[in-house]
Amino acid sequence: MALYVAPGFSRAADAHLRLALMFKARRHWGAAAVHFRRARLAPHQDATFTRLELSFHAAHLLEARGLRKAARDAYERLLKEPQLSSMLKADVCRQLGWMYHRCASLGEPAARARAAIWCLQRAVVAEPESGAGLYLLGRCFAAQGKVHDAFIAYRNSVEKSEGNADTWCSIGVLYQQQNQPMDALQAYICAVQLDKGHSAAWTNLGSLYESCSMARDAFACYNNGGARATLASAPLRQRLAFLRAHLAHAPVPSVTGKRRSLPSIEEAWNLPISAEMSSRAPKAAPPPYPGAGASTPSTPATGAGPAAPKRDEPTPLTHHQLQTLQYLQRNSHNLSPQQQALMQQLLSQYRLSQAARARAVAKNEGNCASGDSAESLAEDLLKKFSDSQPDIKKEPTTTESPLSVNNSDAVLGGRQPVVKLEPLKTDPLKPVSFHIGMSAKQIMDSCKDNAGPPTSWSVLGDGCGPPEPPGVPPPRLSAEQLAPPAPFVYVESKRDAFSPQLQDFCLKHPIAVVRGLTAALKLDLGLFSTKTLVEAWPDHAVEVRTQLMQSADENWDASGRRRVWACASHRSHTTVRKYAQYQAGSFQDSLREERERGAAPAHSAGALSDSDGRESGSGPAKRRRTARMLRFGTNVDLSDERKWRPQLTELQKLPAFARVASAANMLSHVGHVILGMNTVQLYMKVPGSRTPGHQENNNFCSININIGPGDCEWFGVPDAYWGGVRELCDRHGLSYLHGSWWPDPDELRAHGVPVYRFTQRPGDLVWVNAGCVHWVQATGWCNNIAWNVGPLTARQYSLALERYEWNKVQNFKSIVPMVHLTWNLARNIRVSDPRLHRAMRTCLLQTLRAAAGTLQTVRARGVPVRFHGRARGEASHYCGACEREVWHALLVREHERRHVVHCLACARRASPTLQGFLCLEEHHVEELSLVYDAFTLHRPAPPLHAPAALPPTPTPTPTPD
């Protein structure tokens, strides 16, 4: 939000870096790279990080994206920097050493092992007080079988950062490998007391118990490990299932049975440990144990154990007393009165000591140093990258570093950054009130008095804050309202097709189906068939998306085990001829499968049966066996009139509001091609082809015609509820604008969001109104054609402007240049709607004011200004750094033998004095002034006689089943 309000403010570099770190943590690599680049370009005078730290983050982004060799080269370049601080050098060496240890693509195993040890030893030398490098060094030694060296490294790591659950877990692994089960048990207990959610320690502890034939304790530990893992592994799930079945038929353990080799998990939690570990290990209450009573609530340990109890507090039970108490509890039905009294005494003492311990821990929690804990690999290294990705990352531990990517609550390295709160530096400008009643001359004079452009401006006006997604509107809808029937209309004649009531019907509903329109207008849809396309231009380019075949109301991950929103597809390219062969081959394969099955199937090809749903236990296994990939031919460009003249001419038969080019279509006034918006695109589909959920670019309306022969299934959400859809995307870790997602209709309805669902048959036209969220799946073999339209209404224009501004907040490029479009509309049309006139006039005022201020600024800094003009059909210009539209005043600088356009804010970031820039003017100021002054509200003359009766309104009909 700060970058939206004032893109050039003094802390912009910090804001971009923090955004990049957040996007990196959410695995939005592209957005993270954009913000790292902008942080690098922003001025660093007031930044709380150095450019070398920024380079480290950028190098790690390469590693996180799987570009291992590029990341290695970036780390090695950093190590050659003479100004590299010791702490940053330690971070780079740690990361580089761990990459050599984990990544097989970086060389032969022996060479990688030597390089890993060398890098990690350099990290320890550079930052001797950190335990992270010693822990990783121990891991490398252990992997090479150097047990003694590994123990020394782990011991030193514990001394540096004792609150590290990963170190204790690794110590337990070494003890277990050396056949020292009791020592391994104590180390694992230390790990899970430090971090009760440490899945690896719980799992290893379960394996230790199972090796000692203690199935009940093993099951309890495995259960803790599986429950606390984000996604339990298949072997762990299988082991849990086996032990559950085994324990269901196992006899109850006898009190007088043979002696166990290890104490139970409850006993181990309270047992005193060896002198070597006792000075470092934490003390806490036992975890929940299946089948046992409620235990004392545990308190997380953050470092060393609590201080010794005072004299007036109860003394903890000794090891012998604990064993006695446990024996008496197991035999409580056969005790003498003296033994029962002893049991009550010991039990009372135990409870008092546990309560005192809990109070001591709670008291010391605020005093425990969190620096060592924050430096632990459980917080900064392993939690983010150990399972989902084989890389380990620790952010630079500097006093100026930003928040950790892996732990948003902890500061990197545990060191709190010292941030000075300073007021923003702003130029003292005279307060001038701009309003749409001002003339162009008054605006120019006011801008001269202010001597510069506004620090921030919006096409919505000065009084409007940045747009925000709306919440789900009240009141709560009923079950019937959450599944409304799709608005449906039949067109029976050409007169119905051209009636104004048809356009009004479409504009009145979020989404609508118009059936019979193509037949009434006698459109030759065969011109868009695959056969015709191959005969006309067989080598025309087709973008292909490879997707997983699924039923329309389900979306599973690649493993087929979880329902998700993320919609995966892989991009490639082919030709019309090759895709036509695939489309025909897919149809033939389906026919052959039908014949082989004999009886007519109950479902179309690729559809999943009800037994494959969420409730079916055998569904995922069946899905993994039957799931197959499909290829969706998308974004076939039909904009070239020389190639596709017959097809484009045929579409001129449509009514004016639905045509690709029309005076009543805003997008026809852009003046240049925007592929897929004011041009036609074609989609070639097989069953299961998906267009994921989205709103149209800048919220413009769209038209989609099914060429056939198969059907398509549509889902739609009214624009008033798009904020609810975005909220659910955030919950699923997906970017609403940048991500690819396939919503769950049931989840949307449970969230109070209504969902339309209907079938588009061959020849049906689907009208998607402004802002409607929609997603589509083919249920048969078909082609579709689609384009966007912009009705000249206040609602359409306002929604487009709001999305234009929200795209700025989200750092998303607006494909429709709304400023350029608004000025063209002001030249070309007369507006009689007061709301539309007010919105357009405000946009003209704001942009004229910003352009005048920009020219004053560049002239004051001695930047040469030249008139450039605009060629016919020339595309609108966007800033090469922030991708915002740049209108009228283009700041150009040569970069890598290319002239790159910048907005004023990005040009100032690159060069505060604007040295090396040239300013190009697209229009004469006099011309803009004339257009602005001439754009007034048109008041049409009243009719001299009553208008003729209009044809009847087409009757909307509910969607047929």
Range scoring the smallest mean pLDDT among 93-102, 150-159, 281-290, 303-312: 303-312
Same domain as 824, residue 786: no
Confidence of residue 824 (pLDDT cuts 50, 70, 90): very high
**How many domains is the chain built from?**
4
**CA–CA dist 674, 696 (Å, integer):** 13
Residue 760 included in any domain: yes
What would you report as the CA-atom Rg of the chain, rounded to the nearest whole angstrom?
A: 34
Rounded-to-integer distance, Cα 512 and Cα 268, Å: 67
Please report whether residue 378 resides in a domain. no
What confidence score (pLDDT) does residue 389 get? 39
DSSP structural state of residue 497:
H
**Angle of CA points 375, 60, 895, to nearest 5°:** 140
Q: Please identify, among 328, 343, 367, the residue that sits at the C-terminal boundary of a domain.
A: 367
What is the spatial order of strands in the sheet that 712-717 belongs to?
Answer: 690-694, 773-778, 712-717, 756-760
On the CB side of 176, CA atoms within 13 Å amount to: 23
Least-confidence region, from 39-43, 177-181, 198-202: 39-43
pLDDT at 351: 63
DSSP 432: -
Paired with 563 in beta bridges are: 556
Section 510-526 average pLDDT:
97
635 and 671 both lie in a single domain = yes
* 105 domain residue, yes or no: no
> Is the pLDDT score of 539 beyond 60?
yes
Residues 916 and 832 grouped into a single domain: yes
Helices and strands counted in the chain (H then E): 36, 19
My answer on whether 243 and 338 are in the same domain is: no
CATH of the domain at 212: 1.25.40.10
**Residue whose tokens read 């701009």:** 434
Structure-derived torsion over alpha carbons of residues 273, 274, 275, 279, reported in degrees to the nearest 10: -40
Tokens of 233: 């592994």
Q: Clarify whether residues 887 and 773 are in a common domain.
A: no
Which range, 95-99, 211-215, 437-441, 511-515, is most confident?
Answer: 511-515
Query: Hey, is 611 helix, strand or coil?
Result: helix
Q: Is the pLDDT of residue 616 over 70?
A: no
Burial call 223-238: b when 16+ CB within 10 Å, e when fewer:
bbbbebbeebeeebee
Q: Within a domain: residue 759? A: yes
Which whole number is the average pLDDT over 785-807? 97
Mean pLDDT is lowest, of 273-277, 481-485, 512-516, 839-843, for 273-277
Give yes or no for a contact between 657 and 664, defined as CB atoms under 8 angstroms apart.
yes
Which contiguous run of DSSP H or E holds residue 919?
A: strand 918-921
Q: Is residue 311 part of a domain?
A: no
Same domain, yes or no, for 837 and 721? no
Q: Is the pLDDT of residue 521 over 90?
A: yes
In this structure, the answer to whether residues 924 and 875 fall within a common structural domain is yes
Nearest to 573 by CA among 539, 544, 538: 544
DSSP H stretches of helix in 279-380: 319-330, 337-365, 370-375, 377-380
> Would residue 715 count as lying in a domain?
yes
Comparing 45 with 566, the larger pLDDT belongs to 566
Name the residue among 39, 63, 65 with its Cα closest to residue 52: 39
919 inside domain: yes
DSSP H/E element including 795? helix 794-809
pLDDT digits (tens, 9 = 90+) for 309-364: 333 456 666 766 766 776 776 666 667 776 777 777 777 676 666 656 545 544 44
pLDDT (average), residues 88-93: 90
Q: Determine the Cα angle at 641 with ends 639 and 647, to 5°.
A: 85
Same-domain check for residues 775 and 821: no
Q: What is the pLDDT of residue 554?
A: 92
Q: How many residues does the chain have?
A: 961
- Are 534 and 642 within one domain? yes
Are 867 and 749 found together in one domain? no
Residue closest to 356 by CA, chosen among 283, 279, 271:
283
> In this predicted structure, what is the pLDDT of residue 599?
53
Greatest Cα-to-Cα distance within the chain, rounded to the nearest angstrom: 114
Angle between helices 132-143 and 86-102 (to 10 degrees): 20
Q: What is the DSSP string of 165-220?
A: HHHHHHHHHHHHHTT-HHHHHHHHHHHHHH-TT-HHHHHHHHHHHHHTT-HHHHHH
Q: Residue 454: pLDDT above 60?
A: no
Q: How far is CA 868 from CA 822, 872, 890, 921, in A?
A: 20, 13, 9, 5
Instruction: Say which residue, 809 or 578, is predicted with more confidence.
Output: 578
Q: How far apart are CA 674 and CA 898, in angstroms?
A: 23
The mean of the pLDDT values for the chain is: 80
How many CB atoms sit inside 10 A of residue 508's CB? 11
- Tell me which of 473 and 449 has the higher pLDDT: 473
Q: Which of 17-31, 535-549, 899-913 has the lowest mean pLDDT?
A: 17-31
Cα 207-134-375 angle, rounded to 5 deg: 90
Residue 333: count of CB within 10 angstroms of its CB = 5
Q: Which residues constitute the domain of residue 508?
A: 488-554+630-791
In a domain, 712, yes or no: yes
Q: What is the pLDDT of residue 127?
A: 86
Judgement on whether residues 675 and 727 belong to the same structural domain of the protein: yes
CB 8 within 8 A of CB 45: no
Quick one: 647 and 770 in the same domain? yes
Q: What pTM did the predictor assign?
A: 0.67
- Domain of 672, CATH number, reads 2.60.120.650
DSSP 658: G
Phi, psi dihedrals of residue 298, rounded to the nearest 5° = -85, 150
- In this prediction, residue 561 carries a pLDDT of 83
Terminal C-alpha separation, the chain: 46
